[in-house]
Amino acid sequence: MNSTKKIVLTYAKSLFLNLKNNLVDNSQDPINLGRIVTTVTNQEKIKTPDLFFVGEELLLIRSLILSSKFFKKVFQNPTYSDQKKLDILFNILPGLSLSLKSFLKVLAEKSHLSYIPEVSDEYTKTLINFRNSTNVKIITASALKESSGFSLLSVLRKLTNSKEIILTVFYNPKLLGGLIIEYNSKSIDASILKEFSLFFNEA
């Protein structure tokens, strides 16, 4: 593992653990993990964003940096100071949570704002593991029927041993029928195209 990867993993893990420790005890109501926790200090309500809200904010900044020519130029240009980059982010996204603003300030102080896309990717992976989620990719020859969606999700939960499925569907008419399921570097090919291939190979 190179030094950059170690730095990125450290930032993502630190952010996750810090936010996780700030969550109230939601063991009786796991749905509350996705809500905003509020605390009262000096008679003012201060919103403390949870793990998932900050993850969405990181994804937003990541997409800005990777998809915008302006942001790419700014973040790849070493002549711009990290403080200038931080000011640009705060001006364009004034509604960022206090937790993420504090985190971004730490990155700026260390001259590591350019790591935001990688930190976001690692943070998202950590969230997926925390929620016992699995990313599943389905490639099918035709559109899935709405009625079969619920039963398919139930099968996928059992197959992946996950509580939550993050499903991405792709269409490939060349499969002729059936589908291909991909998750956790595994692939299950139940397409008609594969059946034909096996048939002709045996003949």
Greater confidence, 203 or 86?
86
**Separation between Cα atoms, residue 202 and residue 192, nearest integer Å:** 15
In terms of pLDDT, which residue wins out, 194 or 156? 156
pLDDT at position 198 over 70: no
pLDDT at 24: 47
The residue among 84, 89, 94, 181 whose CA lies nearest residue 140 is 181
Residue 149 pLDDT exceeds 50: yes
β-bridge mates for residue 169, sequence order: 138
**167 vs 44 pLDDT, higher one:** 167
Neighbours of 172 (CB within 10 A): 14
Stretch 141-160: mean pLDDT? 75
7 pLDDT more than 90 = yes
Q: So what's the pLDDT on residue 57?
A: 94
Q: Kind of pairing, strands 164-171 and 133-140?
A: parallel
Higher pLDDT, 37 or 193: 193
Largest interatomic CA distance in the chain: 80
pLDDT greater at residue 36 or residue 57: 57
Q: One-letter amino acid identity for 121?
A: D
CB atoms within 10 A of CB 113: 25
Calculate the alpha carbon distances from 174 to 29, 56, 178 in Å: 45, 35, 11
Tell me the pLDDT tens digit for each residue of 97-114. Answer: 999 999 999 999 999 998
Using DSSP's 3-state secondary structure scheme, residue 158 falls into helix
Q: Which helix (H) or strand (E) holds 135?
A: strand 133-140
Tabulate helix, strand, coil % of the chain (nearest 5).
60, 20, 25
State the chain's mean pLDDT as an integer: 79
Given a cut of 90, whether residue 11 has pLDDT beyond it is yes
Let me know: does 108 contact 82? Beta carbons within 8 Å.
Answer: yes
**Range 36-58 average pLDDT:** 59
Angle subtended by helix axes 116-130 and 98-109, to nearest 10: 130
| pLDDT band at residue 49 using 50, 70 and 90 as cut-offs | low
Q: What is the mean pLDDT of residues 157-186?
A: 83
Q: Going by DSSP bridges, is the β-strand pair 186-191/44-48 parallel, antiparallel, or unpaired?
A: unpaired
Q: Hey, where are the domains in the chain?
A: 3-128, 133-202
State the pLDDT at residue 15.
92
Measured in residues, the chain has a length of 203
**pLDDT tens digit string along 64-84?**
999 988 888 888 888 889 999
Q: What's the CATH class of domain 3-128?
A: mainly alpha
* Encoded tokens for 110: 């260390």
